[in-house]
Amino acid sequence: MELKATSLGKHLAQHPYNRVRLLTAGIEVSGDRHEYLIPFNQLLAINCKRGLVWGELEFVLPGDKVVRLHGTEWGDTQRFYHHLSLNWQRWSEEMSIISASVLQEQLDAISHLTSGERWFKREDVEQLQARLREALIALPLPHQRMTSFDNCRENWLLCQSWLAEGEKRRDEINARFTDVMLERYADFFRDVESSPLNPSQARAVVNGETTLLVLAGAGSGKTSVLVARAGWLLARGEASAEQILLLAFGRQAAQEMDQRVEERLHTTEMTARTFHALALHIIQQGGRKVPVVSELESDTSARHRLLIEAWRQQCREKKAQAKGWRQWLEEELLWTIPEGDFWQDEKLARRLAPRLERWLGLMRMHGGSQAGMIASCPEACRDNFQKRIKLMSPILKAWKSALKAQDAVDFSGLIHQAVNVLDKGRFVSPWKHILVDEFQDISPQRAALLAALRRQNTHTTLFAVGDDWQAIYRFSGAELGLTTSFSHHFGAGDLCALDTTYRFNDRIGDIANRFIQQNPQQLAKPLNSLTRGDKKSLLLLPEDQLDALLDKLSGFATSQQRILVLGRYHYLRPSALEKASTRWPKLNIDFMTIHASKGQQADYVIILGLRDGKEGFPAPARESVIEQALLPQPEDYPNAEERRLLYVALTRARHRVWLLYDKEAPSVFVDELEHLGVPAVRKP
């Protein structure tokens, strides 16, 4: 069937199209020079209009496109429109039956996927949405018409909601799953640890996302969550003990976790490892030669002797190198260097040894060539860095020679070798689940080892527990961004927070939380306390009042209560503690640096050294160009890590904290704490 414009209509309309022809499942609109084929599966609407004399047909297409035919005789136009509409509607009804079947099939598949008792992961949603898009693309009807058909409308809208609100639906499914699990496994969550898990802890344990970061504030029970998570995987049959890898950063922490697992889960088949122990295991299993870790790694004195001897030999044999070292130490570190053969000075050597150790460690951790280190250095300090690397080169060479002589490796070499073994496929990871403690302390090198393990087994889950508020080890290579930008580095996943602390009272918690969150780059999280404190829970006190404070404590603190005296540096140990055993014999007093106090707790905490200046707190930046080039870049916020260090100190205390400051040159933190509501008193 065909409809044409009249001769006069064609002449007056001056339109590219003047005739339309009905096809099997479409129409062809054409003119003297143009032709347009419109299949029914692209046709959204047909409109028939009457002008003053002639008829007009409109064919509405996707993308707001309209094709028009003008100048047709009105009666012919009506008849063609009626015939075309019948054919189009008949075709549409047939196609709606096919479309309804496709939609129902997709919803049945979604129902099957979401009805089981399991965690619905992000990757599940992505796969579901990909399959849904593929199916909808193949529908015979235009998507804009789907709601016009009673047999398609509801299912079409349901499918669209999965595409538009997949994350919301995932959250709803997982919330229902979690509630069911917490009720069904109530006995497990009550008994798995010595105290029942609270709701935020239990929900973290149940979360089955492939990549999960659990923010565990000070005293919130992170070890309980790690142990419970391992127990949950066993109880649900999601993994055997051999398929669960527990990782800690220190040997003592790993041993404590082993003991906790044995006590609470009653198994010895699951062993916590340090990253270095893990690397050694991987190399042993997949390497051609079993490595031996150098004794230098466990002997600080021997390590320092080796480094200082290499440094002295360099200065002794090459005057230009000695001059370079003098310039480095005087101009960059602002040290006072003796005249003459300064490298023979024992005091200077003792002071320099830990610096050499740190610089060497950063170079070894980088793992690349010296040219690679220089190339990756920020341009602003590259020339200076190149000079320092040349001075360090003989020391690095001496270190490597010592390792070769022992036929051994160091810790950095272990991890680099392990990543190499994994990437070459000589070791296939047996672990389905990796659980990491103190994740905020992770370095790029350790992160690379985790990534290599997950490349080996792409279904491996990562359950990381840490607290970016307590990230205080950048100087040893830890990169805070690996925690604060967790999903960027380890893949899209969930983040949940443990919301209750069992250590300090709400007054300490309120001040500490507000103090740390002055830095907007710290992740926001709730951390509520179970006990109430008062304004005396935190006090600012002049530093000359330490003896008076200990006198007062001796009047009410019991011998079972621990008093922790914390300093920014070892040498800040107050001389008053030398007489503690006789003057305050009943007080249980310990002194340690704030860094060493991480993981510790006490009833009462005394924080020393809140003063301004070179040896003050916050400590001024004293990084060499080596640290500037090889350590992760610091945040663009004043005293960011020093702020976290004070937060760690504050949150060691159960009951009360005294912050001792210099009245003549107080720390910038003193004024800030006063603004947060911490009272300053003259006497304890």
Supply φ then ψ for residue 467, to 5 degrees: -145, 110
**Domain end residue (candidates: 408, 443, 464):** 408
**Domain end residue (candidates: 124, 155, 184):** 184
Give yes or no for a cis peptide into 618 (omega within 30° of 0): yes
Burial class from Cβ neighbours inside 10 Å (0-12, 13-18, 19+) for residue 567 reads buried
Q: Which two tokens stand for residue 598?
A: 């991480």
Q: Which helix (H) or strand (E) holds 16?
A: none
What average pLDDT does the segment 151-180 reach?
96
Residue 389 in contact with residue 370, Cβ under 8 Å?
Answer: yes
- For residue 9, pLDDT beyond 70: no
Residue 438 in contact with residue 450, Cβ under 8 Å?
Answer: no
Domain count, the chain: 4
522 domain residue, yes or no: no
The Cα 463–Cα 245 span in angstroms is 10
Q: Which residues contact 543 (CB under 8 A, 6 or more apart)?
A: 608, 609, 610, 611, 660, 661, 662, 663
The Cα 322–Cα 312 span in angstroms is 9
Instruction: Report the pLDDT value the prediction gives residue 521, as an integer from 0 to 100.
Output: 92
For residues 449 and 579, membership in a common domain is answered with no
**Backbone angle region of 559, left / alpha / beta, with phi > 0 → left and psi within -120 to 50 → alpha:** alpha
Residue 650 in contact with residue 511, Cβ under 8 Å?
Answer: yes
- For residue 52, pLDDT beyond 80: no
237 domain residue, yes or no: yes
For residues 624 and 658, membership in a common domain is answered with yes
For residues 135 and 6, membership in a common domain is answered with yes
Long-range contacts made by residues 336-340, C-beta under 8 angstroms, separation at least 24? none
Residue 530 in contact with residue 500, Cβ under 8 Å?
Answer: yes
517 domain residue, yes or no: no
CATH of the domain at 88: 2.30.29.30
Residues 417-427 have pLDDT tens digits of: 999 999 999 99
For residues 210 and 178, membership in a common domain is answered with no
The Cα 68–Cα 17 span in angstroms is 7
- For residue 16, pLDDT beyond 90: no
Residue 381 in contact with residue 625, Cβ under 8 Å?
Answer: yes
| Domain housing 585 | 529-675
627 domain residue, yes or no: yes
- For residue 368, pLDDT beyond 70: yes
The Cα 176–Cα 119 span in angstroms is 10
151 domain residue, yes or no: yes
Name the pTM for this structure. 0.88
User: Positive or negative, the Cα torsion across 125, 127, 129, 131?
Assistant: negative
What average pLDDT does the segment 321-342 reach?
91
Residues 533-559 have pLDDT tens digits of: 999 999 999 999 999 999 999 999 999
Instruction: Report the pLDDT value the prediction gives residue 163, as an integer from 0 to 100.
Output: 96
For residues 359 and 422, membership in a common domain is answered with no
31: pLDDT confidence band, cut at 50, 70 and 90? Answer: confident
515 domain residue, yes or no: no
The Cα 525–Cα 235 span in angstroms is 30
53 domain residue, yes or no: yes
Write out 122-178 in H/E/C secondary structure: HHHHHHHHHHHHHHHHCCCCCHHHHHHCCCCHHHHHHHHHHHHCHHHHHHHHHHHHH
Instruction: Report the pLDDT value the prediction gives residue 590, as an integer from 0 to 100.
Output: 96
53: pLDDT confidence band, cut at 50, 70 and 90? Answer: confident
Nearest to 646, CA basis, from 519, 516, 541, 504: 516
Report the chain's mean pLDDT, rounded to a whole number: 93
For residue 514, the one-letter residue type is R
For residues 285 and 360, membership in a common domain is answered with no
If you write DSSP's letter for every residue of 622-647 in order, what string do you get? ---HHHHHHSPPPPSSTTHHHHHHHH
For residue 572, the one-letter residue type is L
- For residue 622, pLDDT beyond 80: no
Residues 96-121 have pLDDT tens digits of: 999 999 999 999 999 998 888 899 99
Q: Is 537 helix (H, G, I), strand (E, B) or coil?
A: helix
For residues 219 and 179, membership in a common domain is answered with no
**Among 243-257, 366-380, 450-464, 643-657, which range has the highest average pLDDT?**
643-657
Strand bridging mode 26-30 / 35-39: antiparallel
According to DSSP, the residues that pair with 35 across neighbouring strands are 30
The Cα 377–Cα 386 span in angstroms is 9
According to DSSP, the residues that pair with 211 across neighbouring strands are 462
| Three-point CA angle 606, 610, 611, nearest 5° | 150
For residues 8 and 146, membership in a common domain is answered with yes
Q: Is 15 helix (H, G, I), strand (E, B) or coil?
A: coil
Instruction: Report the pLDDT value the prediction gives residue 333, as an integer from 0 to 100.
Output: 86
Q: How many CB atoms lie within 10 A of CB 22?
A: 16
**Domain end residue (candidates: 408, 428, 460):** 408
For residues 491 and 620, membership in a common domain is answered with no
If you write DSSP's letter for every residue of 443-495 in order, what string do you get? -HHHHHHHHHHHHHSTT-EEEEEE-GGG---GGGT--THHHHTHHHHH-S-EE
For residues 568 and 460, membership in a common domain is answered with no
DSSP conformational letter for 678: P
What average pLDDT does the segment 368-393 reach?
87
Q: What percent of the chain stands above pLDDT 90?
A: 81
User: Positive or negative, the Cα torsion across 32, 37, 38, 39?
Assistant: positive
DSSP conformational letter for 330: I
The Cα 275–Cα 296 span in angstroms is 18
Q: Which residue has the higher pLDDT, 539 or 4?
A: 539
Residue 266 in contact with residue 320, Cβ under 8 Å?
Answer: no
- For residue 14, pLDDT beyond 80: no
Residues 115-157 have pLDDT tens digits of: 888 999 999 999 999 999 999 999 999 999 999 999 999 999 9
For residues 13 and 147, membership in a common domain is answered with yes
CATH of the domain at 192: 3.40.50.300
253 domain residue, yes or no: yes
User: Positive or negative, the Cα torsion across 292, 368, 327, 628?
Assistant: negative
170: pLDDT confidence band, cut at 50, 70 and 90? Answer: very high
According to DSSP, the residues that pair with 28 across neighbouring strands are 21, 37
Instruction: Report the pLDDT value the prediction gives residue 393, as an integer from 0 to 100.
Output: 93
Instruction: Report the pLDDT value the prediction gives residue 58, as an integer from 0 to 100.
Output: 93
Supply φ then ψ for residue 164, to 5 degrees: -85, -30
For residues 24 and 13, membership in a common domain is answered with yes
